[in-house]
Amino acid sequence: MSEPNTIANVLLVDDEENILSSLRRVLRGEGYNVQIANGGEQALQILRSQPIDLVISDARMPGMDGATLLAEVQKHWPETMRILLTGYADISTTIRAINQGQIYRYISKPWDDDELRLTIRQALAYQHSERERVRLEALSLEQNQRLQELNETLEQRVMARTAELEQTADMLDLAYEELKRSYVTATEVFSSLVNQRIPKDKQTNTQVIALVRAYAEVHGLDAAPSRDLTMAAALYNIGKLTWDDQLLSRPSDLLYKQERERYRQYPVQGENLLMTLEPLQDAARLIRHHQEHWDGSGFPDHLKGEATPFGSRLLKLAVDFIELQRGSILERRLSRDEALLLINKYSGRLYDPQLCERFITLCTELAPDITLADPSILALDTRRLEPGMVLARNLHADNGMLLLNEGKPLTALLIDKLIAFEASESGHYTLFVRTAEDATLATEKTP
């Protein structure tokens, strides 16, 4: 009875014709296909010749008794349901049927017709549910296997059609191993993916990350706020992913009314996307408030002064400094010095005045490339790298994808892969590295 509407095959086994007749009378009108057998051997012959859903056997029969018959049924046709008819004196036979035949129920003679009919319905319903469970498990296994085969086939097709990207895939595999070490690395990898949605000349995350890291290092920020700042800098514009290309390319000062309303929502959307990840909740809060103004005229919550988190105030400075030079705020791209002059002009209105002063000092007194302000850092092309050197700055591909993260030790194999990747991209990469000795000293100085 593999389907609910299939007619069940019921086998009645008893050596007394009057008992068989009574049972057939009880089942008349139930819609079952009823077979009868006068003993155990005949019952087994029927079971061998056709499928039987339910066997009802008397306990006491000459030759093979009911317990022995049902034990054979359980052994060879375990899906067939088994019910034993027993008298009060057949306790030992009943126990044997329970233990060896694993019967569904036993019914005492004389039976109640309604109870017998209900018991049979319940047995067949249980049988159907078990068969359905087995069917669904088999279907699930089959579908999982088919999905796995499809994934393997798809992977082969993709690799066959994108053979030129194998070197990039190797770099991404290395990056994946590194991102498991920290959420900071993971956010920077995701940031590089976000950049694929943003026009290349508008991509800012890498420079914003470098600025907040430099500030954290120069001013000795603790590890936790530095980490949150870095993750916020990596993902501050994740809320822009739903924008169309026209909105992504247009400076914020030239947006129309509806576009401006949408623009004002991107910090909130960024927070909403990240709040479900517990390690990113503090960074998400910084993202929400990084467009607040010192005088309270910002968005989304019009926070004023120090009510805006410190990290958000710093992130606002770094974002505006880079986006002014990218043409993301004003129609005209500003030079580095023009951007600093404009930021200074709005100190006390848009920006925290004390923080603004320290930020401008950071940008003017250090070398234009902040990382190179550290004399222990070397800028080398791939063919001048040596095993044992350690990356002092994240390495990104030309398309913005993170290849290797800061702190990665270089091996001979990795250097060879970098050279091959550079050749496949027809590009030229400069890596910022420390020697093994300088990297060890830098690690020892880190609290």
pLDDT at 158 over 70: no
Q: What is the pLDDT of residues 180-230, one digit of tens each?
A: 445 666 676 666 666 677 788 788 888 899 899 999 988 999 988 998 999
Percent of the chain with pLDDT over 90: 35
User: How is domain 9-133 classified at the CATH fold level?
Assistant: Rossmann fold (3.40.50)
pLDDT, average across residues 170-177: 60
The strand pairing partners of 54, in sequence order, are: 10, 81
pLDDT at 367: 40
pLDDT at 165: 62
pLDDT, average across residues 127-148: 88
Pairing mode, strands 390-391 and 430-434: antiparallel
Domain 198-370 coded CATH 1.10.10.10: no
d(CA 316, CA 290): 5
d(CA 127, CA 121): 10
In this prediction the pTM is 0.48
d(CA 136, CA 157): 31
End-to-end CA distance of the chain: 71
Q: Using 50, 70 and 90 to split pLDDT, how confident is the model at 438?
A: low
Cis peptide bond prior to 62, omega within 30° of 0: no
Q: Using 50, 70 and 90 to split pLDDT, how confident is the model at 317?
A: very high
385, amino acid identity: L
Q: Where are the domains of the chain?
A: 9-133, 165-181+374-447, 198-370
DSSP 215-252: HHHHTT--HHHHHHHHHHHHHTTGGGTTS-HHHHHS-G
Specify the higher pLDDT residue, 169 or 343.
343
Residue recorded with tokens 């993902």: 235
The strand pairing partners of 369, in sequence order, are: none
pLDDT at 50 over 60: yes
Q: How far is CA 358 from the centre of its chain?
A: 41
Specify the higher pLDDT residue, 337 or 373.
337
- Is the distance from CB of 406 to CB of 394 less than 8 angstroms? yes
pLDDT at 321: 95
- Is the distance from CB of 300 to CB of 288 less than 8 angstroms? yes
Q: Using 50, 70 and 90 to split pLDDT, how confident is the model at 2?
A: very low
Specify the higher pLDDT residue, 394 or 110.
110
Mean pLDDT of the chain: 83
pLDDT at 249: 86
DSSP 295-344: TS--SSS---GGGS-HHHHHHHHHHHHHHHHHTSSSSSPPPHHHHHHHHH
d(CA 239, CA 233): 13
pLDDT at 144 over 90: no
pLDDT at 169 over 70: no
3-state SS class at 57: strand
